[in-house]
């Protein structure tokens, strides 16, 4: 597609600027060749909306893209979508000046797919947690230059260096963070399995106590789509 790609009103830029609270919106200005196309596009975009994200059509009109359309789009940093229409010279120059993106389409499905992809990009990723293992704190050592190290027994699964950890005391989570060092005897190791003893410390946390349980897990961010 031919675009007057600008810095301010591109779909990608808009994703970075969305309000954090409430429903996220993709604002658009739509111009099409005939009223029927305009209604079909607005209807299709309406159906994409969920309770988290929606397409907000600032204006849907018939005819070529004018300078007035660019002014309207610029006020909301919205891209302009032209369906079987083009921007006149003044509108093109204004779009360049204002940094507003103009996208041209001839197939409604393509237009809707592009907007859908943008809206999917606004969905918060799903946080998926994988349990790795548990360890119990048997002793706490104070080591100069390092701080406190917990001497632990891995009671279930495995613990891995760099994994996320929760420190649980009397079934209450007292700290959540990252595992710093993981040692077996004096050696740094990547992983310690159930039934083995190890030494651990945590990034920015030193209040481990005997009897605490260390839950070790991994977190993945899974992209979502509409």
What would the pLDDT profile of 89-105 be if each residue is shown by its tens digit?
A: 999 999 999 999 999 99
Q: Identify the top-confidence range among 137-141, 178-182, 183-187.
A: 137-141
- Note the pLDDT of residue 23: 80
Q: Would the pLDDT of 21 be above 80?
A: no
Q: Where a domain ends, among 122, 156, 172?
A: 122
Q: What is the mean pLDDT of residues 125-153?
A: 91
Let me know whether 151 and 209 are in one domain: yes
Let me know whether 47 and 88 are in one domain: yes
Which residues constitute the domain of residue 190? 126-222
Q: What is the mean pLDDT of residues 52-73?
A: 95
Assess if residue 95 is contained within a domain: yes
Q: How far is CA 144 from CA 15, 141, 149, 197, in A?
A: 47, 10, 10, 21
Q: How many domains does the chain have?
A: 2
Strands 191-193 and 147-160, by their bridges, are antiparallel
- Note the pLDDT of residue 4: 46
Q: Exposure of 158 by Cβ count < 10 A (0-12 exposed, 13-18 middle, 19+ buried)?
A: middle
Let me know whether 112 and 147 are in one domain: no
At residue 16 the predicted structure's pLDDT band, cuts being 50, 70 and 90, is low
Let me know whether 105 and 140 are in one domain: no
């Amino acid at each position: 597609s031919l675009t007057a790609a600008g810095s301010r009103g591109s779909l990608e830029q808009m994703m970075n600027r969305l309000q954090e609270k409430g429903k996220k919106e993709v604002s658009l200005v739509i111009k099409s060749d005939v009223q029927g196309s305009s209604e079909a596009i607005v209807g299709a975009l309406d159906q994409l909306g969920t309770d988290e994200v929606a397409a907000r059509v600032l204006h849907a009109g018939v005819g070529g893209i004018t300078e007035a359309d660019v002014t309207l789009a610029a006020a909301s940093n919205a891209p302009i979508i032209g369906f079987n229409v083009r921007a006149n010279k003044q509108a093109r120059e204004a779009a360049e000046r204002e940094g507003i993106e103009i996208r041209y389409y001839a197939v409604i499905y393509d237009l809707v797919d592009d907007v859908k992809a943008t809206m999917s990009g606004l969905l918060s990723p799903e946080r998926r947690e994988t349990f790795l293992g548990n360890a119990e704190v048997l002793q706490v050592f104070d080591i100069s230059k390092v701080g406190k190290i917990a001497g632990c027994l891995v009671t279930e699964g495995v613990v891995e260096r760099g994994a996320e950890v929760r420190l649980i005391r009397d079934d209450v989570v007292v700290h959540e963070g990252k595992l710093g060092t993981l040692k077996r005897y004096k050696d740094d190791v990547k992983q310690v399995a159930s039934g083995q003893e190890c030494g651990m410390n945590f990034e920015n946390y030193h209040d481990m106590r005997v009897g605490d349980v260390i839950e070790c897990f991994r977190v993945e961010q899974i992209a979502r789509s509409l």
